[in-house]
Amino acid sequence: MNTARPAARRGFGLSLKGRALRYLAAREHSRAELERKLAPHEETPGQLAQVLDELQAKDFISEARVVESVINRRAARFGAARIRYELLNKGLDPETVSGAMDRLKSSEMERAREVWRKKFKNLPPDAAGRAKQMRFLAARGFGGDVIRRVVSQPDDE
């Protein structure tokens, strides 16, 4: 019976670089994310930094691609505040995140209206319904002024 093959599938026996490439093949990762995920597998001090430097030099790790990936995956469902939080938690440079947020804020109202339409379709009948809709949009990361405009007049251009 050959037990080496199933063990390799689970990640045993993979080099640090192999593990990093496996993570990067699934989706874009920031350097900080890879450091956090790969640190338990580092065998000698400095090995992880060397592998990540090599991958970054070959452009396998790119902050710009991570930002674009998150925005493309999340912008249709979440507001700028929620996306900013996610990007900062990935260990990205605050200036890079700030630039991306400036671009996102221009479409905030349209995206909030679309999220609202998918969930509710109609204006709230009373104050309790309005509060519920506002809480929903706030939890999605949309700003207060945008939320008030969407809930009071969702089709107002």
What pLDDT sits at residue 152? 87
What pLDDT sits at residue 4? 46
Query: Which residue ranges of the chain lie beneath pLDDT 70?
Result: 1-13, 154-157
Residue-by-residue DSSP string for the chain: ---HHHHHHTTTT--HHHHHHHHHHHS---HHHHHHHHGGG--STTHHHHHHHHHHHTTSS-HHHHHHHHHHHHTTT--HHHHHHHHHHTT--HHHHHHHHHHHHTTHHHHHHHHHHHHT-S--SSHHHHHHHHHHHHHTT--HHHHHHHHH-TT--
Write down all domains in the chain, each with its CATH number in brackets.
12-61 (1.10.10), 62-106 (1.10.10), 108-157 (1.10.10)
Q: What is the pLDDT of residues 96-141, one digit of tens each?
A: 999 999 989 899 999 999 999 999 988 888 999 999 999 999 999 9
Enter the pTM of the model: 0.81
